[in-house]
Structure 1
Amino acid sequence: MAAFARRKAQRLARPDPSRKRALDARAAELARILNARERFCTASSCDGRVTVTDTDGTGVQKKNCTWLLVTHEPCAKGDVMTALEKATGDAVFKFEPFVLHVLCRELQDAQLLAVRSTHCLEVPLSHKGRLMVSEEYIEFLVHVANQKMEENIRRIDRFQKGLELALEAAVPADTLFPEGPEKSHSVYVHRRKRQTAQEQTDPSRELEPQDDTESSLGLFAEIMI
């Protein structure tokens, strides 16, 4: 436990390694909520974005591409068309939803957080600098991406409210040691059983806690909503 505290202090003291060098606005409060707890440490985050990247055709990789457009807000067709004027390789239009990586002190902490859903969009637009789709199709893609961005913002708000409730339900997490670690574990087990029952009676839930132990190995939870 002391080792986790040292690791957390070291990580939070590092300069922000992102291109922006700062937390995205909509992810900042979630990071504050989690980092205020001894059991959690945020590692990286993105509150959702639209991008146009240009690669040499060997694959879309962050370290092997040119960023032609990056925005964390709804965009317009003109923004994409202007970005494509600079493309010389294979340009790809992407919408990427909110993502948050969290280091957890114990396995049950990661199980409390592990959430995933599909809310992405990725479409190739040009090949070797030549536009392969119509402007009408690009306008349609922008419309779809903007709808996803709006839904993404709603999901962040819903997730934050759910997280605060989950942490309140696990309030003893930072004060359970007088009762022993077994008691701490039982709090999580009890809550996860209740969640499972709720999910079975409500199949429309979009955010599903993952029971797959393999996804939580290394005490690491990845949240994508």
Structure 2
Amino acid sequence: MDRSAEFGRWKAQSLSKADLSRKGSVDEDAVDVVELLNSREEFFTTSSCAGRILLLDGSTNGSGVQKQHCCWLLVTHKPCAKNDVMAALKGATSDAVLKFEPFILHVQCRTLQDARTLHSVAVDSGFRNSGITVGTRGKIMLAVRSTHGLEVPLTHKGKLMVTEEYIEFLLTIANQKMEENKRRIGRFYTCLQHAVKRETISNSHSKIKEKNNPLCTRKNRRNQGKAHDPSTTEDNGRELEADGLEISAALFLGDD
């Protein structure tokens, strides 16, 4: 199957699925980014979170490993007040943890070059922990993420282990991280707009040049003929893969 057609099929299937997140919809601060990416033929988003402050009870098993079934005492995508946290802590019966989780976005990309373009946008916008993975079926995924999170335990077996003053201090930090997170999303959206505009102009100029240049036309016809040669396709694939290793993102080969 043609790779472009297969990518289109994956995109149609993904965007037609119901949103299975707890919220059931895209977060307000991430809507513009998600809609812009999904409007482009070379991208589609598979999951996103604009960033949140949350309070989880029973979130670890004592060894720092995340438990599957924990109680969400509080979750907000906006700045959080101390009174809200104190009220939510009354429901804690185990080890409650206050967390700030920054913006994260997963995007499937049509080609490795498309992923590299988007990775540059992410890094330039402050999401320096972003990375690319290539699946065994050829799916190219970009994860947009950063490292300015926060995770602090507040209770043990339901007992509050810190003072209210310390909780207020933590929330000041968490709220500052939330504001910085929002600024980074704004920069990402602006940089993404410029990037796709440059890409559109570049593609348009290339098509006009090719149409008006008979040498380009003959060259492309020869290349199309070579595409049917398995050895040529394999060599091109190795060149593309080697080229992809030059990006600053982590490039892994994993399962889809």
| Structure 2 gaps, min length 5 | 123-128, 130-145, 211-215, 224-245
- Do 2:30 and 2:49's aligned partners in 1 also have CA atoms closer than 8 Å? yes
Is 1:151 aligned with 2:180? yes
CA-to-aligned-CA distance 1:61-96 (integer Å, 9 cap, x gap): 373211000000001001111111111111110111
Is 1:125 matched with 2:154?
Answer: yes
What letter corresponds to residue 142 of structure 1 in structure 2? L
TM-score relative to the length of structure 1: 0.77
1:73 equivalent to 2:78? Answer yes
Q: Answer yes or no: is 1:32 the counterpart of 2:61.
A: no
Q: Separation in 2 of the partners of 1:56 and 1:155?
A: 28
Task: List per-residue Cα deviations over 1:186-213 (Å, max 9, x = no partner).
Answer: xxxxxxxxxxxxxxxxxxxxxxx95245
Greater Rg by CA: 2
Greater relative CO (CA pairs within 8 A, separation 6+): 1
User: How big is each residue's C-alpha offset from its partner over 1:137-192, in whole Å with a ceiling of 9 and x where there is no partner?
Assistant: 00000111111111111111111101111111222677667676x9xxxxxxxxxx
Q: Tell me which residue corresponds to 2:66.
A: 61
Q: How far does the alpha carbon of each residue in 1:25-73 deviate from its partner, in whole angstroms, 9 at most, with x for none?
A: 1111111111111110101111111000011641553732110000000
Task: Tell me the amino acid that sits aligned with residue 211 of structure 1.
Answer: S
Change (3 A) 1:94 1:173: farther
Q: How many residues align structurally?
A: 193
Partner residue, 1:8: 11
Tell me how large the CA RMSD over aligned residues is. 2.7
Partner of 1:201: none
Of 95, 107, 121, which aligns to 2:112?
A: 107
Equivalent-residue separation in structure 2 for 1:86 and 1:171 (angstroms): 53
Q: Distance in 2 between matches of 1:107 and 1:88?
A: 48
CA distance in 2, matches of 1:162, 1:92: 35
* Cα gap change, 1:125 to 1:102, in 2 (>3 Å): same
Any idea what SS the aligned residue of 1:103 has?
Answer: strand
> Aligned residue for 1:197?
none
Correspondence for 1:22 among 13, 22, 25: 25
Unaligned runs of 5+ in 1: 183-208, 221-225
Partner of 1:214: 251
State how far apart, in whole Å, the 2-side matches of 1:65 and 1:98 are.
Answer: 22
Identical amino acids, percent of aligned pairs: 54
Residues 173 and 63 of structure 1: is their aligned pair in 2 closer, same or farther, counting only changes over 3 Å?
farther
SS in 2 for 1:63: coil
Cα gap change, 1:48 to 1:62, in 2 (>3 Å): farther
- TM-score of the superposition, structure 2-length normalised? 0.68
